[in-house]
Amino acid sequence: MALSYSDIINPSSKHHTYSRKQKSLGLLCTNFLTLYNRDDIDVIGLDEAASKLGVERRRIYDIVNVLESVGVLARKAKNKYSWKGFAAVPKALQELKEEGLRDNVNAIDKQSNNSAKVVDDDEDEDDDSDSNPNTGSQNENYGIIKSTAASRADHRREKSLGLLTRNFVKLFVCSNANLISLDESAKLLLGDGHNSSIMRTKVRRLYDIANVLSSLKLIEKTHAADTRKPAFRWLGLRGKSENGSGDLESRKRTFGADVTNICFKRSKLDSSVDGDKSQSLKMQKQIKDEKIVTVAERGNADQDSQQNSGSFQFGPFAPVSMAKVGNSEEEVTQIYDWEGLSSTFRPQYHNQALRDLFFHYTEAWKSWYTEVAGKKPLHIS
């Protein structure tokens, strides 16, 4: 049910009715990136972005928080973000990885020094009288940020989309997990002692995050091979176009691929955007015309940090200043590097459940690797 290009060019022909695809966060993010992924961009004003993209501010906050978490943007002042671009992503991912692994080690140390009170900082967050009792068990010790909840501000921050994004990304970069189901990521990020309402809310947030990260080609949305459960596959710096055509998700609701955000509201009249439609259509055409070229570097921490190497690409929005490089052979070569990395960076879970889960992920990865790369699985465990 993907819209054709002619639909985009002439949206009025078919879209008199509301279509939520046209309003998706992923698409909005795509447009945002199209608008700002340029060398001459330095500072981005949120109001300006909102009006140019024809959306309300609130949506810009959603995007900006996720983009900031992966280094594409940095908050500069009220209403202002500086554009760091995709070149900053490898460093941001590397930092997340280091942070995650460091926290992992700290958690283990802490536990070994405190044998009588195992991971009792799980309760830290619960001592706020109005806190949510279900967030307390989250994060365990595999490197996900866990603040001390010293203040209400911290408490609020703990729930932020930005932090959730960082933690979500850490799930991938701190392990070699390549495919994580929605269920599992929700449980990992929120803890298992949840009630369904809290879980539902957080899953909504995961969708939000996933849509933006998909737009960045850092992940792709897919399904677990066995269960068909929704799942996220980490593309990371690899994020190459599969089959070279970029249509890997065409059969499903896609993220940031085909239409403009600027159109119909679900339940209220859209008052602001007529003047922006042509601009948005131009952006769409530009998106279509871009080549999607990315290079595999997944799992290679050293290469991750080499942001100036010029050897990576991000989805359809390669930094203007960067040469496009990449071929499948290079990808295969780099994929082999996983093996060494798996031993170097494998998280040391002291929690049996997490160990089991990690084992599950590595198995899933092996399975995927075997299928996609046509190779024998690496002996990761």
Binding residues for DNA, per CB under 7 A? 1, 18-21, 23-26, 46-47, 55-59, 61, 64-65, 77-79, 132, 151-153, 156-157, 159-162, 182, 197-198, 200-201, 203-205, 207-208, 210-211, 221, 230, 252-253, 255, 265-268
State in angstroms the smallest separation of the CB of 103 from DNA. 20
Residue 41: how many CB atoms within 10 A of its CB? 13
- Summary count for the chain: helices (H), strands (E): 13, 6
Q: 73 or 293, CB closer to DNA?
A: 73
Around Cβ 377, how many Cβ atoms within 10 Å?
15
The smaller minimum CB distance to DNA, of residues 46 and 105, is found at 46
87 vs 259, which CB is nearer to DNA? 259
* Residue 285: closest CA among 85, 36, 6: 6
Write out the E strands in 46-97: 73-77, 80-83
d(CA 304, CA 95): 10
For residue 15, the minimal CB distance to DNA (Å) is 9
* Least gap, CB of 233 to DNA (angstroms): 14
Provide, rounded to whole angstroms, the least separation between the CB of residue 226 and DNA.
Answer: 15
Kind plus residue range of the DSSP H or E element containing 141: none
Closer residue to DNA in complex, CB, 79/351: 79
Is residue 218 within 8 Å of 236, Cβ to Cβ? yes
Break the chain down into helix, strand, coil percent, rounded to 5. Answer: 50, 5, 45
- 217 vs 366, beta carbon nearer DNA: 217
Please identify, using beta-carbon distances, which residue of 160 and 278 lies nearer to DNA.
160
Distance separating alpha carbons of residues 160 and 65, to the nearest angstrom: 9
Q: Rounded to an integer, what distance in angstroms lies between the CA atom of residue 365 and that of residue 367?
A: 5
Closest to 33 in 3D by CA, of 351, 317, 257:
317
Q: Least CB distance from residue 43 to DNA, whole Å?
A: 12
- Written as one letter, the residue type at 43 is V
Nearer to DNA, 25 or 335 (CB): 25
Q: Does residue 261 contact residue 24 with C-beta atoms inside 8 Å?
A: yes
For DNA, the closer CB: 205 or 366: 205
Adjacent-strand bridge partners of 181? 231
Hey, what are 12's tokens? Answer: 């009025």
- Min CB(357)–DNA separation in Å: 20
Shortest approach of DNA to residue 306 CB, angstroms?
Answer: 30
Q: How far is the CB of 59 from DNA (least distance, A)?
A: 7
